Amino acid sequence: METCLFCGKEHDDARLALPLLHGMCHSCSFWTRILKGRRPYVVIDGHCYRVAPEDRCGFRGFGGFEYTIKFNDGNVVKTTNLWHRGKIDPEFIPFFPNTAEFVDSSDGMGMDEAAVIVNIDSAFPF
Ligand SMILES: [Zn+2]
């Protein structure tokens, strides 16, 4: 067991394939990588998302449902490739202020409905 230098929690993350940032637990390492990474992210209501390119082939975030996102600067983006990175850990909330909000989309699916689909998919890992 080691103590995370950031959050102070004890952890044993040697089992993980991803290399951890020095002295940090998996969770702190995960959020620090997003903060320091080059990939843009969106924070909505304490959750972190990535708007992946529309022209990317393969699996689409939230099954390809369309979401409309309004950024704090007023820009509005429609995406059918939104990926949920996770609910931001309490220790990292000060570093991830909300940057946008969901706008109701008449042809989109509500977040609650999409979450149900994600849960169904994760229940059948084959
Ligand atoms: Zn930690």
pLDDT in tens, 99-117: 999 997 554 445 555 444 4
The mean pLDDT of 4-23, rounded to a whole number, is 74
- The pTM of this model reads 0.75
Whole-number mean pLDDT of the chain?
82
Dihedral pair phi/psi, residue 20, rounded to 5°: -90, 150
- In the chain, what are the domain boundaries? 1-37, 40-126
Ligand 1 mean position, distance from CA 91 (Å): 8
Ligand 1 mean position, distance from CA 115 (Å): 27
The mean pLDDT of 3-32, rounded to a whole number, is 79
For residue 69, which amino acid is it?
A: I
Distance CA 4, CA 23 (A): 6
Ligand 1 mean position, distance from CA 11 (Å): 8
> Tell me, what's the pLDDT at 5?
87
> Tell me, what's the pLDDT at 120?
42
Lowest mean pLDDT among 1-10, 81-90, 99-108: 99-108
> 105 or 52: whose pLDDT is higher?
52
**46 contacts 85 by C-beta, under 8 angstroms:** no
Ligand 1 mean position, distance from CA 20 (Å): 10
Element (H, E) at 67: strand 67-71
